[in-house]
Amino acid sequence: MKAPMNRRKFIQTSCTACLSATALAGFIASCKTTKYISGKLGADGLYVNKDEFKLDKKGDENYRRFIIVRNEALQYPICVYRITDSEYRALWMQCTHQGTELLASGDSLQCPAHGSEFSNEGKITSGPADRDLRTFPVTVTQNELFIDLRKA
């Protein structure tokens, strides 16, 4: 016969399960809100349709703050921030400390390795990294962004 679980053990087990479920829900929510695309690779850079920033709410003109371009031709993804309809920023998601891939949330990027943080302009807001992120010029046409990978 199985021994009954004592009160302390029950509370520890329940809390662990509850915290795990909460962490999982948060992770799923963040995955759901972050949009990943591969973009269209050209000779000099990447093309991204501006509609990729639109949220899927009927009749609303709501936009994502950023999307992440993850293309197999690139060693790291590029986080593209929408500032206005005619202004975008493209940031290379490689931490300038030791090269770890960054995580994006809201208007900042964080490094999971040692905690460096960068603004949506690619500027360091918290070390140990001591250099800003690599950025790329973005040209905006009517429906498309061109991220120029030739310049940094």
Q: Does 124 bind ligand FES (CB under 6 A)?
A: no
**Closer by beta carbon to ligand FES, 117 or else 121:** 117
**Closer by beta carbon to ligand FES, 42 or else 127:** 127
Phi/psi region, residue 4 (left: phi>0; alpha: psi -120 to 50; beta: rest), is beta
Among the listed residues 34, 100, 108, 119, the single contact to ligand FES using CB under 6 A: 100
Q: Does 94 bind ligand FES (CB under 6 A)?
A: no
CA dist., res. 125 & res. 42, Å (int)? 33
Among the listed residues 48, 93, 95, 138, the single contact to ligand FES using CB under 6 A: 95
Q: Does 101 bind ligand FES (CB under 6 A)?
A: no
Asked if the peptide bond before residue 128 counts as cis, ω within 30 degrees of 0, the response is yes
Q: Does 109 bind ligand FES (CB under 6 A)?
A: no
Write down the residue that tokens 């990027």 correspond to: 109
Residue pair 118/130 in contact by the 8 Å Cβ criterion: no
**With 0-12 CB in 10 A as exposed, 13-18 as middle and 19+ as buried, what is 101?**
middle
Among the listed residues 77, 116, 118, 122, the single contact to ligand FES using CB under 6 A: 116
**Facing residues of 40 across strands?**
47
Nearest distance from C-beta of residue 113 to ligand FES, angstroms: 4
Residue pair 119/108 in contact by the 8 Å Cβ criterion: yes
Chain contacts with ligand FES (rule: CB under 6 A): 95, 97-98, 100, 111, 113-116, 128-129
